[in-house]
Amino acid sequence: MTSTTSAAPPLSESSLWSCIAVSCGLALSYVLSLYIWGRNNGHDRDHPSTIKRRFVSAFCMLFISPIFVHFFGSRTLLAQHEFSQIIGFRWAGLFNACVLPLILTWILFLGPIGLMILADTRARLLLIPQYWWQSLQDLIWWRNHVVAPFTEEYTFRACMLPILLSQYSAPKAVMVAPLFFGIAHLHHMIERIRKGQPVKTALLISVFQIHYTTVFGMYSAFLFVRTGHIAAPVIVHSFCNFMGFPDFGEMLNRPSRERIILLTLCVLGVVGFYLGLYTFTDPKLFENDIYTW
């Protein structure tokens, strides 16, 4: 199968705005699907009833999101490749897609991983079978590490990028797509305010979250385009949810020797990530002839 260009040239300004409008519609559909149940009897997002209902919404989006791709995705991609391959479901190169981007992300998180080993009991818990058994029975764990990573990457990467690639080149699409992903997290601010958090505090937290999720979204979109696999961003997303945002304050508060080790690991992680970014995501490693960079 011959390689395809990453995007068709823009047809017109109206076509460009239509592409953006459709992407907004896709993002909005995902967010609204979570709130279609109303206030859920006043329960917050971590209540089992809320989680179960949102699982149903996420499942429905698995069928709704591809409709956007079918009607508004890149005509070049749709003409040259199978639909399942366009949205990242392929066998060729799957093992590498599951492993190499995760290793690359581990390198970036060298500092936080070091901190987890030194100061966080989670590192030891991972070796205990009972921890995994309890996690598999926890709806919050399923939401944070399975359902949310898969459904968000499916909608915001696998289905949104083929739409944006109808008007944007791959590098530009990778920069634009995360904006919709970041803004989509604004709904968390509403939930915080409903729980009684001051508006100013909720706003500041949400602004920080938007910036963080936007940066992650760029990385995730980059992985999808470079590997051509949905598995790559899903696994990395799940890992990042497990790690959380790096606690640099805790690192600085560690004893002097540990602090030096952790900060050194942080620097080595960033440098290693930068040097390995294109090597670990070389499309040839994943037999990716669908998306070109």
Per-residue pLDDT, 7 = 44
- Flag whether the pTM goes above 0.85: yes
Contacts 24+ apart (CB under 8 A), 194-198: 194/44, 195/44
Q: Are 283 and 222 in contact (CB under 8 A)?
A: no
Q: Where are the domains of the chain?
A: 13-286
Q: What is the rounded distance in angstroms from the CA atom of residue 114 to the CA atom of residue 45?
A: 31
Catalytic residue numbers, as ranges: 152, 185
Low-confidence ranges of the chain (pLDDT < 70): 1-14, 38-42, 182-194, 196, 199, 202
Would you give the DSSP letter of residue 289? -
Q: What is the DSSP string of 258-273?
A: HHHHHHHHHHHHHHHH
The reported pLDDT for the residue numbered 190 is: 65
Residue 215 CB contacts under 8 Å (≥ 6 apart), including other chains: 178
Residue 79, pLDDT score: 96
| Listed residue (286, 285, 280, 284) closest to 100, CA to CA | 280
10 Å CB burial of residue 99 (0-12, 13-18, 19+) is: middle
Phi, psi dihedrals of residue 11, rounded to the nearest 5°: -80, -45
Rounded CA-CA distance 197/77 in Å is 46
For position 13, what pLDDT does the model report?
53
